[in-house]
Amino acid sequence: MAAALLFLLIFLLINYSPAAQSEGSNEFIYNGFNGSALSLFGASEVVGNGALMLTNLTSDDIGRAFYPEPMQMFQDSNSSKRPFNFSTYFVFSMIPPANAKGGYGIAFVVSPSTDFPGAKGEHYLGVFNSSDTAEEPDRSILAVEFDTVNRENENYDRTGNHVGINLNNITSLATRAAAYFIDEFRDEDFQMEEEPGVQAWIEYDGGKQVLSVTIAKMNMSKPLRPILSHQIPSSYFKKSMYMGFSASTGRKSSYHYILGWSLRMNGTAQQLNTSQLPAVKRVDSTAPPPPSPSSSYSPRVVGLIVSLTVVVIALGIWLFVVVWRRRMFGHEVLEDWEVDCPHRCRYKDLHMATKGFRDSEMIGAGGFGSVYKGVMPATGSLVAVKKIASNSIQGMREFVAEVESLGRLRHKHLVNLQGWCKRKNELLLVYDYVPNGSLDSLLYNHRSNLILTWETRLSILKGVAVGLLYLHEEWEKVVIHRDIKSNNVLIDADMNPRLGDFGLARLHDHDKASYTTNFVGTIGYIAPETARNGKASASADVFSYGVLMLEVACGRRPLDPDVPGSLMLVEWVIQCQQMGRILDAVDPRLSLDNDGVAEEMEFVLKLGLICSHQRAEARPSMRQVVRYLNRDGQLPGVEDYGESVSSHSADRFVMSRFLEGISSSTGQSVESESLARGSYGSLSHGGISTTSMRNGR
């Protein structure tokens, strides 16, 4: 009897206590919520398996759950308040209806109260409303949102799948698409709604006053870097604050669950046992079918009819799939010029590699079409597949013949074209996948808090120069790139540059001149002679490279159209040079304290000015540029820049009048698109890229 009672006591202790708390309520852990003392509001409830359900599929609903006692946010020392650190770790799950997109999301909330008068559902997540503003320090509501539906005018993630840090209102101070870091530099996006569980770590450093958010898929270890960080002054916190969760639905709805939660003040939150957390099932079907009407047929006849019907339907589905697959994959008609072309990929393989060109695999989009990340089924290699829209292709046969020639380019500092596929009027191009995205995204801090060091920047400039030298002088033909810019320089896993986007490139023999006169390129990088007569040349590429050098050294775009009358980057550096203060142009985020760095920066700025000289004959060749970068030879002087500022301004006026003429005569904007995160270029034909102007370049 005593043994049975002891066994029962042990069983109750193991199964009844989901939460452990330390003295002062400064630490707790819930591996499931059965028996918890959480304060629940609205639609929230603890379901039978121990999961905390904030909302179900009911439309326009709100559910909240808070730890019942407030946390002390400050420690008093010598009459001064010092903020505590805090760390929380939880696992959540969002389950949309079957065959539909869900909404709207979950927020982790730190608030002086558990009451939110006037709070709305949908995008406001049951915490804020449309009249809330950030300038309300007395409210002091901090929310970290895990959202699945875009608000109006939000474009950072077209599917709405993102993480954000909000203070006092729904407008995020910082936000980015949901992702986790694979290593120090590479991150991987994922759809939160498609996962059985998502781990989240939220940490506040009271000393640095920085809030960091890290997420990962279920059963993964914590990534090395947070996906989002932002400065939150400790003055926004009250002496004591409640912590908990809020979720909402609207026109769209989802089950929103919290599966486990731990928190610690002044320390690291305890690790949850993910294998013991309550499991929640995906929604596999909608409402059950209505009952069958009564029938006078015998059960055997009914069974026979049902069986025959099932067989006929199955045969019909099988026949439809066979015909569809043959139309999609089986018979790709080749034209004469395609028969002998190497690097031709099967559409079936590219369809499989990109999971049917699924939206979750898309890494970029523009007027030309879309770019997808893919894994080739035969080799397992990562690729980037560009699917060009049919309305953007001009002269398919001529273009593919040119791409076939460029497809033979192979160099460690070029993005290699692995192949292509033509299906009806679609053209698909297959490139190497470059994980760290474009130099533009790293230089201007679009995706992370990474600041490129001077050593890395100089290494990137040297690599691009070597790649251009290969194009101009070392390959079997002369290749004029015609669109050198930071968005077309991709950075691989080892931080080496890879020059991409050869959609505007032109070829000619080494003993012949280029006859190309179409006006193409990106404003701010276009050589003056190209702006005047449209002529492409290796010297025009050198000009664009010179602008790129200045851009990398200064951390400033070549042209800022948002500031009327502002100087172009080249003009500004020229003025700094003429005043004898050229180092004033250096990116202020870079340090000049290390030995030799200031000298290297001055050298690069002067070489950039020489390469971007107004007169083509004054510019060096790329072979000379590579020699200068390797410190083999003395830089020529730049004393003749006295009249160049006015020349730059005049050329900018010519450029603007040229664009106005094209727009008025065609009735269309002249543009080519660029891609963030693995930008694989525009492949526009005979157009001027104004993407840079829209981005403030």
Closest by alpha carbon to 638, among 590, 542, 574?
A: 574
Which amino acid is it at 250?
Answer: G
Same-domain pairing of 415 and 460: no
Mean pLDDT, residues 60-67: 96
What tens digit of pLDDT does each residue of 157-193 get? 456 899 999 999 998 999 999 999 998 888 999 999 9
Mean pLDDT, residues 37-45: 94
Binding residues for ATP: 387
Greater pLDDT, 423 or 410 = 410
Percentage of the chain modeled with pLDDT above 70:
73
In this prediction, residue 220 has a pLDDT band, given cuts at 50, 70 and 90, of very high
Specify whether 138 is catalytic. no
Structural domain of residue 544, as residue ranges?
437-639
pLDDT at 89 (0 to 100): 98
Which amino acid is it at 532?
Answer: R
Same-domain pairing of 417 and 490: no
The SS3 call for residue 565 is: coil
pLDDT at 516 (0 to 100): 54
Residue 608 pLDDT exceeds 90: yes
Last residue of a domain, one of 384, 412, 432: 432
Mean pLDDT, residues 522-530: 88
Answer yes or no: is 215 within a domain: yes
Same-domain pairing of 552 and 527: yes
In this prediction, residue 520 has a pLDDT band, given cuts at 50, 70 and 90, of low
The SS3 call for residue 153 is: coil
Q: What are the residues whose beta carbons fall under 8 Å from the beta carbon of 205, sequence distance 6 or more?
A: 85, 211, 212
In this prediction, residue 31 has a pLDDT band, given cuts at 50, 70 and 90, of very high
Closest by alpha carbon to 676, among 187, 267, 214, 348?
A: 187
Same-domain pairing of 373 and 450: no
The SS3 call for residue 371 is: strand
Tokens 């805090």 belong to 86
Take residue 523 and report the two structure tokens written for it. Answer: 């404003």
Weakest mean pLDDT among 121-125, 576-580, 689-693: 689-693
Closest by alpha carbon to 169, among 247, 205, 248, 116?
A: 116
pLDDT at 575 (0 to 100): 92
List 132, 157, 349, 483, catalytic entry: 483
Cis peptide before 104 (omega within 30 of 0): yes
pLDDT at 10 (0 to 100): 40
Greater pLDDT, 445 or 50 = 50
pLDDT at 421 (0 to 100): 84
In this prediction, residue 506 has a pLDDT band, given cuts at 50, 70 and 90, of confident
Answer yes or no: is 318 within a domain: no
The DSSP annotation for 519-533 comes to --EETTTS-HHHHHH
Same-domain pairing of 204 and 98: yes
Tokens 């909402």 belong to 248
pTM for this prediction: 0.50
Task: Answer yes or no: are the C-beta atoms of 496 and 434 closer than 8 Å.
Answer: no
β-bridge partners, 163: 146, 176
- Give the span between the Cα atoms of 607 and 635, in whole angstroms: 7
Same-domain pairing of 453 and 428: no
Answer yes or no: is 352 within a domain: yes
Angle, helix 454-469 to helix 597-611, in steps of 10 degrees: 30
The SS3 call for residue 326 is: helix
What CATH number is associated with residue 171?
2.60.120.200
Answer yes or no: is 499 within a domain: yes
Residue 558 pLDDT exceeds 60: yes
Mean pLDDT, residues 622-640: 86
Residue 622 pLDDT exceeds 90: yes
Weakest mean pLDDT among 469-473, 585-589, 678-682: 678-682
Containing H/E element for 664? helix 644-666
Last residue of a domain, one of 258, 276, 294: 276
pLDDT at 669 (0 to 100): 31
What CATH number is associated with residue 376?
3.30.200.20
pLDDT at 219 (0 to 100): 87
Same-domain pairing of 368 and 450: no
Rounded to a whole number of angstroms, the distance between the first and last alpha carbons of the chain is 82
Task: Answer yes or no: are the C-beta atoms of 254 and 271 closer than 8 Å.
Answer: no
Helices (H), 346-453: 347-353, 396-406, 439-443
Greater pLDDT, 580 or 451 = 580
- What is the pairing mode between strands 228-231 and 210-217? antiparallel
- Give the span between the Cα atoms of 630 and 462, in whole angstroms: 8
Same-domain pairing of 81 and 174: yes
Query: Structurally, how many domains does the chain consist of?
Result: 3
Answer yes or no: is 528 within a domain: yes
Same-domain pairing of 356 and 263: no
Take residue 629 and report the two structure tokens written for it. Answer: 């970068």
Greater pLDDT, 235 or 396 = 235
Same-domain pairing of 198 and 220: yes
Same-domain pairing of 214 and 119: yes
SS3 content of the chain, % helix, strand, coil (to 5): 30, 25, 45
Answer yes or no: is 672 within a domain: no
Which is it for the CA torsion 555, 557, 558, 559, positive or negative? negative
Mean pLDDT, residues 251-261: 95
